[in-house]
Chains A and B, each alone.
Chain A
């Protein structure tokens, strides 16, 4: 089933166009990452599809209109910051969410244990650290057993331990088979958690598909030696390697999936260019993201 379909979504704030005819589809069971730099329109997109912002143009459909106007009851979401009543405790805040969702059989204890807040369930929200607030918000998204959960920058502002805990919780949620939509500007986070990715920049769609499809099969090679100029001259003469960029320790190149790294090592040795650094790895999402977004800049 198509969980979400976005058609030509556009949002203008005065003369500033935050979203520019964005199209996107999320299928059931996907873990979709919406990736983009700060200010690219990720939160605006989520704000519109969650009903708190009005679009200037375009439309969107949830669950192929299966639930009509009550579709948001089937969605659990955190948008930007965790929003709760500061003078109420975790249980009372979750109960407010339950009342809005109209659900009846939620096990608060189980949810709070999942996000490791059970021990602080009777403390007021205002006494929580940012990480705890974020984890309570994650627990709240699961009230009413929603079909889709949406997270907007779920690790924003957290310390490394908090980030690890939240990521761990998100992976547990994803493993329950729910459709997850997650906006983030942290590529590593998206690469680790998501099955699919939509890349947007300045409100425009740049690329969309499974992580596997977005990532090319190219190998990334990091090659270093004492004389980088000599190495660069040699590599630029080869047709099976494309130079990408250079730092003071090594040169980064791209090569086909079948490229023979051992042969390259041997060739350099015979050319009397002894290596100090040689790494061959699959291209990371970060590199792909930079390639996609910088291509748009050049256009």
Chain B
């Protein structure tokens, strides 16, 4: 396992695109927190620094990270596979001795390693920002976060495995990135909307990317949920437990489809 992870690091450590995408995540996550410190008070909803003090900071940073992981790490994951197709290093790796299974596992290890690093960074940045912006911080309060770090980790794995699936299916970076971004930002919302018109049901919350997003929802969504409850008789958000369960199931499906697709095709 470590050999494969080291191999992947050797392959991509000097790729400008990959280094840039990863750097953007590490720069923009704290930057988004800084932006939150400059937001004005919203009477009745949020006082100054609400979003960056414990315990709300975990939700806010998680939501900001949600977008960044979706974009930067999702695209990065597609790039690590399509780049190997483009430069034919995928086939070369197999020709010179890597088994297909090892190649597949090495990409899964990238997902797990990046998800772990991204989650630890989220925890570190959130802790520091929260500590600096909470009037009387203490450790018990600081870590009152409803399993935010494991939820964040699961969210990272979900986005990247979903992106990986498109990379294996389409092989071409442009097509895979377009389909991935379009589906997450537009496609699934349209499908859910159509579903809602056909059947007003909480089932619309169970779609894969919605379940993933609900692991780290918008902090003020609770209010929106209150508003919506007046219109619909079901919750706007999945509970954390349900979102985590559904996301885990979807991750298994994404990985299974990727594996089947990769093992079946010529490289």
**Inter-chain contacts of B92 with A (CB < 8 A):** 79, 83-84
Say yes or no: A95 contacts B266, CB within 8 Å.
no
Q: Name which of A49-57, A107-115, A162-170, A263-271 contacts chain B.
A: A49-57
- Given A99-B6, A99-B10, A54 and B94 contact (CB-CB distance below 8 Å): no
Query: Which of B10, B94, B99, B100 is close to A96, meaning CB atoms less than 8 Å apart?
Result: B10
Interface status of A77 (Cβ within 8 A of chain B): yes
**Inter-chain contacts of A236 with B (CB < 8 A):** none
Within 8 A of A (CB), among B74-97: 87-89, 91-97
Query: Which of A47, A70, A87, A88 is close to B16, meaning CB atoms less than 8 Å apart?
Result: A87
A293 CA / B6 CA spacing, docked (Å): 49
**Inter-chain contacts of B94 with A (CB < 8 A):** 50-52, 72
Interface status of B11 (Cβ within 8 A of chain A): yes
**Inter-chain contacts of A50 with B (CB < 8 A):** 94-95
Of all chain A residues, the one with the shortest Cβ separation from B93 is A100
Say yes or no: A101 contacts B97, CB within 8 Å.
yes
**Inter-chain contacts of A95 with B (CB < 8 A):** 10
Give the number of chain A interface residues (Cβ < 8 Å).
32
Query: Which of A72, A84, A144 is close to B95, meaning CB atoms less than 8 Å apart?
Result: A72
A86 CA / B14 CA spacing, docked (Å): 10
**Inter-chain contacts of A53 with B (CB < 8 A):** 266
Interface status of B117 (Cβ within 8 A of chain A): no
Interface status of A222 (Cβ within 8 A of chain B): no
**Inter-chain contacts of B91 with A (CB < 8 A):** 52, 79, 83
**Inter-chain contacts of A69 with B (CB < 8 A):** 99
Give the number of chain B interface residues (Cβ < 8 Å).
23
Interface status of A259 (Cβ within 8 A of chain B): no
Q: Using an 8 Å CB-CB cutoff, how does the interface string of A46-82 with B read, 1 for contact, 0 for none? A: 0100111110000000000000011011011101010
A75 CA / B91 CA spacing, docked (Å): 14
Say yes or no: A72 contacts B89, CB within 8 Å.
no
A53 CA / B88 CA spacing, docked (Å): 14
Say yes or no: A99 contacts B87, CB within 8 Å.
no
Q: Using an 8 Å CB-CB cutoff, how does the interface string of B1-30 with A read, 1 for contact, 0 for none? A: 001001100110011100000000000000
**Inter-chain contacts of A88 with B (CB < 8 A):** 14
- Given A72-B97, A86-B87, A92 and B14 contact (CB-CB distance below 8 Å): yes
Of all chain A residues, the one with the shortest Cβ separation from B10 is A96
- Given A52-B267, A83-B89, A87-B16, A102 and B3 contact (CB-CB distance below 8 Å): yes
**Inter-chain contacts of A234 with B (CB < 8 A):** none
A95 CA / B96 CA spacing, docked (Å): 13
Of all chain B residues, the one with the shortest Cβ separation from A101 is B97
Query: Which of A70, A77, A97, A99 is close to B3, meaning CB atoms less than 8 Å apart?
Result: A99
Q: Using an 8 Å CB-CB cutoff, how does the interface string of B215-253 with A read, 1 for contact, 0 for none? A: 000000000000000000000000000000000000000
Interface status of B46 (Cβ within 8 A of chain A): no
- Given A84-B87, A85-B87, A102-B3, A97 and B96 contact (CB-CB distance below 8 Å): yes
A73 CA / B94 CA spacing, docked (Å): 10
Say yes or no: A84 contacts B97, CB within 8 Å.
no
- A96 → chain B, closest Cβ, in Å? 5
Say yes or no: B95 contacts A85, CB within 8 Å.
no
**Inter-chain contacts of B95 with A (CB < 8 A):** 50-52, 72, 77, 79
Interface status of B98 (Cβ within 8 A of chain A): yes
**Inter-chain contacts of B88 with A (CB < 8 A):** 81, 83
Q: Which residues of B contact A (CB under 8 A)?
A: 3, 6-7, 10-11, 14-16, 87-89, 91-100, 266-267
What 18 additional pairs, Cβ within 8 angstroms, besides A83-B88, A86-B87, A99-B7? A51-B94, A51-B95, A52-B91, A52-B267, A79-B92, A79-B95, A83-B89, A83-B92, A85-B15, A85-B87, A88-B14, A97-B96, A99-B10, A100-B96, A102-B97, A140-B96, A143-B96, A144-B97
Name 14 A/B residue pairs within 8 A (Cβ), A-sorted. Answer: A50-B95, A51-B94, A53-B266, A75-B96, A77-B96, A79-B95, A81-B88, A83-B92, A84-B87, A84-B89, A85-B87, A85-B89, A92-B14, A102-B3
Question: Which 6 A-B residue pairings sit nearest by Cβ, starting from the closest?
Answer: A83-B92, A83-B88, A73-B97, A72-B97, A50-B95, A99-B7
